[in-house]
Amino acid sequence: MRMVDLIEYKKNNGEFNHQQIRFIIDGYVEGSIPDYQMSALLMAICFQGLTLKETALLTKVMEESGDIIDLSKIEGVKVDKHSTGGVGDKTSLVLGPIVAACGGKMAKMSGRGLGHTGGTLDKLESIPGYQINISEEDFINQVNEIGLAIIGQSASLVPADKKLYALRDVTGTVSCIPLIASSIMSKKLASGADTILLDVKYGNGAFMQTIEEAKELAQTMISIGKHCHKNTRATISSMSQPLGNAIGNSLEVIEAIETLKGNGPGDLRELCLNEGSEMLVQANLYPNKKEAYQALQEVMDNGKALEKFKEMVKALHANGIEIIMDIYFTPGTNLFLMTDCLRNWVMQYHVDGFRVNQEVMPSLTLASDPVLSGVKIFGNYWDVAALSQAGISSRKNTLAEYNEGFLCNVRRFLKGDEGMVEKVVHSFARNESAYSVVNFITHVNGFTLMDLVSYDIKHNESNGEGNRDGAEINYSWNCGVEGKTRKRTVMDRRMTQIRNAFLMLLTSQGTPMILAGDEFGNTQMGNNNAYCHDDEVTWLNWNKTKRSESIFTFVKNMIAMRKSFRVFRQDHPLQMMDTLSCGMPDLSMHGVQAWRPDYSNYSRMLGMLYYGAYTAEWDGRSVYLIYNMYWESKSFDLPDLPTNGSWKVMVDTYDNTFDASLLSVPKTAAEKKRKKKAEPYISRKTVVAPRSIVIFVEV
C-alpha cells in the first residue's frame, strides 16, 4: 500500500476502508507519511468529500491514535458538551455548575481558543492559579465529589488530530465538514464521557455562516456518535452577534458568575438553560426537558449553581494549590470599586491573593485593608518607609515583590557577561524584613529555561505575530547553535546551564518561582510564542518528565537541598558581619583566593560561604558555593572553618553529581568541637570546570 496510490484513489472519488484509513493515520502520526502527501490527500477530501461511513472510521482511528480516558470510576452518567465557539461564548462556565447542581456529572476536557476568541481554558486561566493540568486521579475524584471538573486535555489525547489540524490550518482545508466532524468527535470520544451534547453555532460570529451548514455538521457528528455507540445530541444556535454583553476572558468569567447569581444577560441564561436541560435528559436524571429546565432555573436562582463554581475552586485548595488572581485595573478606576472587587473575590470565592498594578491600586490601601491584609498581595515594589509610617511593620507572609532585577542579573551572569559578580551577590543574598522577595529566571512572557539556553535572539514566528512582539533583549545564549540541535557537545552545555540556573534560583534568599514546564525542559521555540493560540507550542506535556529524567531529578534534588539547609532560606536579611562573635560572618564572599572576592569587570568567578551558626536551629552545617562562569576551568582556594571541619562535594553541575547522604543532619556542633581536626575529603585547592557550580558541605 502506497500513499500516492491512496491520494489518486480519493482524487477519483474512491471510498476508503478501515485498513486504508488506519494506514494513513498511523503513517502520518509516526512520520513515515510526509506533510506534502497528507496535504494532497486533505485537498482531495475537500473536493470529493467522505461518506458517513468513512467519516466514522476516520474518527475512530484518530481517537485510537493516543490515550483514551477511562471515566468508569466516576459514579453515574458522565456528561460532556462541546461548542463550535464564537465571540462571547462562555457557556461552559455557566452550564457546568448548573448541571452539577442538579445531580449531573460533568467531566469536561476543554481546549483553548482559536482565531479571535478565547476558549474555555483561556477564560478559566484568567484566574491565575486555576490549575488546568491535574492528574487523572484528581480529575476523577473531583467529579465524584462535586460533580464538576473542567481541565485541559492531555497532550497525548488524539495526537493525530493535533498534527492534522495544524496542517489543515495552513493548507486551506479547515472548512471541510467531514474533517471538522472527525476532529471534534475524536477528541470527545477519547475523553470518555457517556453522553455528548454538541452546540453548533452559525452566523457572522461563527465558523459556520449559514444554518444549513450548521445542520449538516450537526447531523454528521450525530451519525458518528451513533456509529460509535455514544449517546450524542446537538443543538443549533445563532452567533450573528456576541453572546452576552462581555467580551474578553476575565470579563466573561465575571459575567458567567453574574449569570450563576441570576443576574446575567437573558440570551446567555436562556441558552444555558436549554442546553442544560438537554444534558440532564441525556443523563436520565429527568424524564423531559420541561422538568429539567425548571430544576436548572431553581438552582440558578437559589444560589446552588454558584456554590458549585466555588466548590470547583475549593477543590484546588484540597490539592494544595493556592489561587492568586492577576487583576489589571484601568487607570482612573474608582478606588472604592477596586477595593470592593478584591474583597468580593476573597469573601465569596476564597482566593488566596492578588497581583495588581500598583500604579493604579495604591499599595497602602491593599496592605491596610481589614479584609485584604490577610491575603497575599504581589506587586513590583513596596515602599518600606510608607508602610512603616502607616504602622505596618513586617508582612513577609502576605506582601511580596516580583524581583525583576534577579532575572536580569542572573541571566547575564549565567551567560558570562562582564561586570556581573557584584550584582549577583546582591541578587543571591537579597532578603527584606518588611516583605518577601520572589525570585525568578523565567516567566510567562518570555523564554522558557530551555529556550533561554537555545536561542541568541527572539523568535516569535509560531504565534502568528510575524516576530514583531516579544522582548528584543533577553540575555540569552544558544550555547553554540541557534535552536534545535543534535550536537552532543551543545546539548551537554545546555543541560549544564539549565542545572546552573536552577541551582542559582534554589540557593538564593527569598522565595523561588519556577515556570511550569522548566523542570522537564519544556520549549516554546522562542520567546512569547505561546501567545493567543492552541497547539503543541502552548501545551505542557507532563509525559516529558520521563524523557527528561535528568533535569527533573536535578530539580527535585535542589528542592530537597533547599529544605534541608536553613542557610538558603533565612527569615531576615543577611548582615555579612560577625554578629555572633564566632569568628565568621553569616555570609562571606571569596574569589579564586579565599577571602578575596574579585569584583573586577572581567571577573566571572565567585565563592559564597554561608556559615551554619547563623541559622535559627543551628546544626553546624556550613555551605560553600563556587560559581565559575568562565569558559575555562579555574582553581579555587577552600576557606578554613573555625570548627576544624572538612569540606565535601555535594553538588557539581558539570558532572551532574549529587550526594544525597549529605542531606541528613550531621553530628552536633558541640561534638564537632571536641573532635580532632579531620582529614579533608579534598585538597585545600579545588578545580572547578568551566561554566559550572560546585557546592561543598561541611562534614
Active site residue ranges: 82, 161, 168, 183, 187
Strand partners, 436: 400
Extended strands (E) in 415-512 = 436-439, 511-512
Taking the CA atoms of 71, 74, 78 and 80 in sequence, report the sign of the dihedral they define. Answer: negative
680 vs 570: CA distance, rounded Å? 28
Question: What would the grid cell of residue 595 be?
Answer: 577571602
CB 82 within 8 A of CB 188: yes
Relative orientation angle of helices 304-318 and 91-101, to the nearest 10 degrees: 100
Helix, coil or strand: residue 355: strand
Taking the CA atoms of 256, 106, 100 and 301 in sequence, report the sign of the dihedral they define. Answer: positive
Burial label for 144, CB within 10 Å (0-12, 13-18, 19+), is: middle
CB 463 within 8 A of CB 530: yes
Question: What would the grid cell of residue 188 be?
Answer: 470527545
CA distances from 679 to 400, 619, 637, 682 (A): 45, 21, 16, 9
Helix, coil or strand: residue 82: strand
Strand partners, 324: 353
Question: What would the grid cell of residue 89 be?
Answer: 461564548
CA distances from 531 to 114, 159, 163, 250, 534 (A): 11, 21, 19, 16, 9
Question: What would the grid cell of residue 516 be?
Answer: 511550569
495 vs 694: CA distance, rounded Å? 15
Closest alpha carbon to 61 in 161, 129, 175: 161
Burial label for 665, CB within 10 Å (0-12, 13-18, 19+), is: exposed
136 vs 67: CA distance, rounded Å? 12
CB 13 within 8 A of CB 51: no
98 vs 525: CA distance, rounded Å? 40
Residue 369 makes CB contacts below 8 A (sequence gap 6+) with: 339, 343
How many helices (H) and strands (E) the chain has is answered by 24, 19
122 vs 130: CA distance, rounded Å? 11
CB 178 within 8 A of CB 49: yes
Sheet-wide strand order for 148-152: 148-152, 105-110, 78-83, 195-202, 231-238
